[in-house]
Amino acid sequence: MEAKLPDLQKIYETANNLAYSNLFADLDDCGFAFVDISLDTFRQTWMNTGCGWTEPMQITGQALTEDYTTVASIQKTVPNGTAIMKEKWAYVVFFGNKGAYTVTDPKPEFFEDLKNRRMLGRYEALHTDRYSEAETLGKGGNK
């Protein structure tokens, strides 16, 4: 079965909404901020039909399955005083069109996996410390 391309406009809109959410609450934007979003989309092969959504003891088909993974890199920069700027980065990992998890303070392993096109599945990202603190986008990801 051919992997279906994700809806990149929908993913971009989700990332843009997150740029103005509590994900960046520690940045006081005073009503003004620069937001830069880039999307990195690639095919990823999974060992089962869960395509990144599998949890332990969950029944899935045992087959090599391809689906698209998209990592949205969000950079938010806000003025801090006169000419000094504060910035924060966040990364949102999507499997297909669904947001799986966010990473706000990534370890080098996150960038290594991104470079190698082998992102952790949702369960592994949320229950291990390989990427540092990973958070969910809500039950089952965004719709």
Is residue 112 scored above 90 in pLDDT? yes
Domains identified in the chain, total number: 1
- Model confidence pLDDT, tens digit, residues 15-60: 999 988 888 877 766 667 889 999 999 998 876 655 555 555 545 5
Q: Which residues contact 81 (CB under 8 A, 6 or more apart)?
A: none
Please give the residue range of the domain that contains residue 38: 8-25+32-136
pLDDT value, residue 81: 67
Residue 98 lies in a domain: yes
Stretch 103-111: mean pLDDT, rounded? 92
d(C-alpha 75, C-alpha 50), whole Å: 30
Q: Is residue 104 part of a domain?
A: yes
**Bigger pLDDT: 10 vs 59:** 10
14 falls within a domain: yes
> Is 126 part of a structural domain of the chain?
yes
Q: Is position 105 within any domain?
A: yes
Residue 1 lies in a domain: no
The answer to the question of residue 143 being in a domain is no
52 neighbors 6 (Cβ within 8 angstroms): no
By the 8 A CB rule, do 46 and 52 touch? yes
